[in-house]
Amino acid sequence: MVTVMSFEYGRRLQGRIALALCLASGAHSLALSAPDGDRAVVIGRNKQLLFDDHVIAERQNVSRVFNPAEKVDRNPIMVGEKPWEGKTIYVGNVLYDDEEGIFKMWYWVLRMSYQVPAKPYSQYENLLRAAKYQESFLPCYATSKDGLRWERPNLGLVEFEGSKDNNLLPPVSDGRMHNYAGIVKDRRDPDSTRRYKAVAWRPKDAKGEFGVGVYFSPDGLHWTASALNPVVKGTSDVHTLLGWDERIKKYVAYLRPGSAQKLAPAAGSGLMRIIGYSTSDDFEHWTPIVPALVPDSVDPVDTQFYGMPVVHYEGFYIGFPWVFRTNQLTHVPQLAFSRDGLHFQRTPLRGDFIPLGPKGDFDDGNVWSVQPVVHGGKIWFYYTGTRWRGAYDLFELGNDVADSIGLATLPLDGFASIEAGPNPGTLTTKPMIFEGSRLEFNLEASQKGYGTDEATSLRIEILDADGATLPGFSLAESEPETETRINGHARWKRGGDVSALAGKPVRLRFHLRNAKLYAFQFR
């Protein structure tokens, strides 16, 4: 028997097989050869962010813009105000617990003691010795219903000046957990005593060992150190935790290697702070650190990376490297992104993601951000802001040192956008194979106020793989969108049902005017 397969049926079957393989593997997208020789990208129901041209074939009169986070008006949102806090507090980690319906924050009080040495100040190392500088960190816990107003619950766990009426957390079992601990709530672990997990710098102990420590807690308040600590020895002092990566079925952390790891920077040998990558099956045995992000030729020559919190977001790994300029002694987060969590790209202009504040503000010296929180239709970036940059500033500011916690936000999906101004522009995708019955988009209208050439418009047409407009989905039949929509629904005169096109290679052409397109998705 000879089976004859029509061209149309074969094309549908090809798309369905590829789509099934894509969805079964958990891949965010998959490219395959379409009948016309183009490359079709299987996207299923996955949201498409606009960091790169992975699904984009052509742009006309539009720009890709990488958007900085916007600081909230009430900054700083937390300052040291309790007797045990003093004036210096650092955010270590924030998460939104949807089981309990609250934001949770772990933060550290930095207690410093020093004597201001006589001027003129000498070299840095001698200066610190002359000042008899010492520091220690006290862990604290806070909660919030709205992410802006924070409460310090009376935990009754630690005595301070004769009272346990405070929000201090008890020290971990080995007494070594340091500030900037990456903390996750791990629901997949069947062991409830390991519900919360943390990775942090573990300073040198009596045996002279130091490096990465990992910690476990049933409630986020009482922490136990792993008996294997330090689980990676000889590292540097800032580590961040992604948590469980469902794509590779492993825990992922971004550890900053030290000289013991012998990871030379890509540009050659020499002193260089870089970001490393390590994975674990059980959270206690970690793979050797490999480089994930190193400064390159586009960066100023004094650029180093002090830490990098990373979030897994809609198929991307989005990082916020703390860019350390050694000549200026400033730390400012920038933006990096990756599709595999190991190989990161940077934005072309290397703009600051959360810039320093103006001179005199609480964050005019350093900004250290932590892993963001996605909640309530926006993305929350908590950070520590300082006025000092180095020891000289500490001594000059004296009692005016007041490191505090700030907040900046982005719209949902707002990391990168395709933007058009008063002159209409278009974005045309590659052939894509999708699943679902409707097309959604995330659109932000332009600001209004000058009265001319300000009207926002988005219209969408659907084309076949060769670029011919499909009947019923033309530009003329598209219903225009003129306002901001997080989950806008594309419609044409015949309605918004696109299920008849599912499984076939199609292109989208977005016609934009005075608008920012953040993302699109078939559902």
Q: What is the pLDDT of residue 86?
A: 86
Going by pLDDT thresholds of 50, 70 and 90, the confidence category of residue 402 is: confident
**Is pLDDT of 387 > 70?**
yes
Give the per-residue pLDDT at 172: 85
pLDDT of residue 116: 77
Mark whether 379 and 429 lie in a shared domain.
Answer: no
Q: Judge whether residue 26 has pLDDT over 50.
A: no
Give yes or no: residues 35 and 76 share one domain: no
Residue 127 lies in a domain: yes
Are 446 and 502 members of one domain? Answer: yes
Residue type, 416: A
Whether 231 and 377 map to the same domain: the answer is yes
| 271 confidence band (pLDDT: 50, 70, 90) | low
Of the residues 352, 381, 413, which one is the last residue of a structural domain? 413
Summarize pLDDT for 296-325 with one digit per residue, the tens.
Answer: 999 999 999 999 999 999 999 999 999 999
Least confident of 154-158, 343-347, 398-402: 398-402
Q: What is the DSSP string of 392-430?
A: HHHHHHGGG---EEEEEEEETTTTEEEEE-SS-EEEEEP
The CATH number covering residue 457 comes to: 2.60.120
Q: What is the mean pLDDT of residues 325-344?
A: 97
Q: How sure is the predictor about 264, in pLDDT bands with cuts at 50, 70 and 90?
A: low
Range of the domain at 31: 7-66+417-522
Q: Clarify whether residues 132 and 77 are in a common domain.
A: yes
Instruction: Answer yes or no: do 38 and 169 share one domain.
Output: no
Cβ distance 305 to 293 under 8 Å? yes
Asked if the model's pLDDT at residue 23 lies above 70, the reply is: no
Over 90: is that where the pLDDT of 263 sits?
Answer: no
Q: Confidence class of residue 265 from pLDDT cuts 50, 70 and 90? A: low
**Percent of the chain residues topping a pLDDT of 90:** 76
Residue 62 lies in a domain: yes
The model's confidence at residue 405, banded by pLDDT at 50, 70 and 90, is: very high
- Quick one: which H or E segment has residue 92? strand 89-97
Question: Does a structural domain hold residue 1?
Answer: no
- Is residue 6 pLDDT above 60, yes or no? no
What is the tally of structural domains in the chain?
2
Looking at residue 269, its pLDDT comes to 52
Q: Rounded to an integer, what distance in angstroms lies between the CA atom of residue 189 and that of residue 272?
A: 36
Name the CA dihedral angle for 354, 357, 361, 362, rounded to a multiple of 10 degrees: 30
**One domain for residues 80 and 47:** no
Q: Do residues 509 and 461 make contact, with C-beta atoms less than 8 angstroms apart?
A: yes
Is 2 inside a domain boundary? no
Together in a domain, 54 and 87? no
Instruction: Identify any residues that bridge with 304 across adjacent strands, giving them in sequence order.
Output: 324
For all residues of the chain together, what is the average pLDDT?
Answer: 89
Q: Are residues 436 and 385 in the same domain?
A: no
Contacts of 432 (CB under 8 A, 6+ apart): 40, 41, 42, 43, 55, 505, 506, 507, 508
pLDDT, average across residues 443-459:
93
Q: What number is the average pLDDT over the span 488-508?
A: 97
Count of alpha carbons within 13 angstroms of residue 481, beta-carbon side: 27
The pLDDT assigned to 179 comes to: 66
Assess if residue 138 is contained within a domain: yes
User: What per-residue confidence (pLDDT) applies to 94?
Assistant: 97
Q: Which has the higher per-residue pLDDT, 212 or 14?
A: 212
In a domain, 21, yes or no: yes
366 shares its domain with 466: no
112-141: average pLDDT: 78
CATH number at residue 281: 2.115.10.20
Q: Are residues 330 and 472 in the same domain?
A: no
Q: What is the pLDDT of residues 144-176, one digit of tens each?
A: 999 999 999 999 999 999 999 999 999 887 777
The reply to whether 48 and 168 lie within a common domain is: no
- SS3 (DSSP) at 259: helix
pLDDT bin (cut points 50, 70, 90) of residue 115 is confident
Residues 144 and 343: their CA atoms lie apart, in Å, by 35
